[in-house]
Amino acid sequence: MLRRRCNDDCLLAPYFPLEEVESFAIVHKVYGASNVVEEREREDAVKSMVYEARGRLRDPVHASAGVVFHLQKHVQDLLEQLELTRASILESNGQINQLMSSLKNVQYHDHQPKSTIFENGNIVLDDTILGSNLIEFPEECSWDL
């Protein structure tokens, strides 16, 4: 670690308080003190320099670009996972629709009026559908045709 500190007469002193000596040291190590921007941009520049410098120390080859590539890869993986999840949801919805259709058919058949001629496999003789009671056949009947 450098023993540099941002002195009181340093242009960047307002952005590197004494408790952030490490931040100034890594920025100075990576960028040097001569790369100073306009005053209105300095705060953002300092934040950016600290971020970039830390990235450069962690990964000297890729620096913060390595983080960006990693995040882009993570986003791509999440998009692929999202597509798989959507496909799974569509498949599940199809299965649900098939099951609901099957249940509706079962319920429809269960609510169909049952024939009163047959009950438990036996013929019922007092059926009202026929209009008369077959057990009580009328005694007086004209058989003349």
88 shares a domain with 45: no
Q: How many independent structural domains does the chain possess?
A: 2
121 shares a domain with 73: yes
Q: Between 42-58 and 21-31, two packed helices, what is the crossing angle to 10 degrees?
A: 80
Question: pLDDT, tens digit, for every residue of 20-31?
Answer: 778 877 777 777
Question: pLDDT, tens digit, for every residue of 80-139?
Answer: 999 999 999 999 999 999 998 888 877 666 555 555 555 665 555 554 555 555 555 555
| Alpha carbon distances (Å) from 77 to 83, 89, 90 | 10, 18, 20
Question: pLDDT, tens digit, for every residue of 47-65?
Answer: 888 888 888 898 888 888 8
Q: How far apart are CA 31 and CA 25, in angstroms?
A: 10
68 shares a domain with 52: no
In a domain, 29, yes or no: yes
- Both tokens of 91, joined, read 């498949």
Q: How confident is the model at residue 2 (pLDDT cuts 50, 70, 90)?
A: very low
51 shares a domain with 31: yes
70 shares a domain with 49: no
Cβ contact 117:131 at 8 Å: no
In a domain, 135, yes or no: no
Predicted pLDDT at 1: 44
Which range of residues forms the domain containing residue 32?
13-58
Model's pTM, two decimal places? 0.41
118 shares a domain with 83: yes
Residue 11 or residue 124, greater confidence:
11
Q: How confident is the model at residue 72 (pLDDT cuts 50, 70, 90)?
A: very high
54 shares a domain with 21: yes
Give the mean pLDDT of 34-41. Answer: 66
115 shares a domain with 86: yes
In a domain, 72, yes or no: yes
